[in-house]
């Protein structure tokens, strides 16, 4: 995919969740455009419409997003996730993903904490242009969680030049935009 500015994102047509739900597949990428100050800071630093990422799965009769948030890695029903102020885009990878391995990795990651120090360090490195990212496998920010699950499924995401995997990095690695949903 190509870089999408916040203005281009705002110009995409919006589809209601009920219309898009039957099209969603296990392993789809969810990218979110937040409205809170911290989300805006991330988006501004990255010149990207996204401040958050997660991976979608079918679970029972629900579609859930596996995400890393302030309390750590968790599973949230997508319908509930969309009741917030988030505007989301769903993207897909052309690679055939090993969904059972991704689900195993998701369950294994549920006890992993959110990496607050990484987020703060990343903001400083991005702002000052200093240092280089050193990923950890003991805690995640949201985009690292998504990349971890994709790697478990057989699709490794390459970090950007600074060594980061951001929501923008995930978008650029995706092959298909499924829909913008609210």
What is the layout of strands, in order, in the sheet containing 62-69?
14-15, 176-181, 87-92, 29-33, 52-59, 62-69, 72-77
Write the CB contacts of 158 (distance below 8 Å, at least 6 apart in sequence).
169, 173
Mean pLDDT of all residues in 75-89:
84
Q: What does the pLDDT look like over 10-23, one tens digit per residue?
A: 888 999 999 999 99
Q: Report which of residues 23 and 117 the model is more confident about.
A: 23
Residues composing the chain: 182
**pLDDT tier for residue 135 given thresholds of 50, 70 and 90:** low
- What are the structural domains of the chain? 6-181 (3.90.1720.10)
**pLDDT tier for residue 172 given thresholds of 50, 70 and 90:** very high
pLDDT confidence of residue 125: 53
pLDDT at 128 over 60: no
pLDDT confidence of residue 166: 85
Nearest to 110 by CA among 75, 156, 65: 75
Alpha-carbon span 97 to 62, nearest angstrom: 20
**pLDDT tier for residue 129 given thresholds of 50, 70 and 90:** low
pLDDT at 37 over 70: no
Write the CB contacts of 80 (distance below 8 Å, at least 6 apart in sequence).
none
């Amino acid at each position: 995919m190509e870089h999408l500015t916040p203005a281009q994102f705002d110009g995409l047509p919006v589809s209601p969740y009920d219309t898009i739900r039957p099209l969603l597949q296990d392993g789809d990428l969810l990218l979110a455009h937040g409205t809170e100050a911290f989300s805006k800071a991330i988006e501004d630093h990255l010149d990207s419409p996204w401040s958050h990422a997660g991976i979608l799965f079918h679970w029972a009769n629900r579609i859930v997003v596996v995400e890393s948030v302030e309390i750590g890695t968790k599973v949230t029903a997508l319908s509930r996730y969309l009741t917030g102020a988030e505007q989301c885009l769903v993207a897909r990878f052309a690679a055939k993903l090993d969904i059972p391995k991704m689900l195993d990795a998701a369950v294994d990651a549920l006890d992993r904490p959110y990496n607050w120090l990484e987020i703060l360090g990343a903001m400083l490195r991005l702002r000052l242009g200093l240092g280089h990212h050193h990923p950890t496998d003991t805690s995640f920010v949201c985009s690292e969680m998504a990349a971890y699950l994709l790697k478990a499924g057989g699709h490794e995401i390459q970090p950007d030049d600074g060594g980061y995997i951001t929501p923008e990095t995930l978008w650029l690695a995706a092959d298909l935009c499924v829909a913008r949903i609210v």
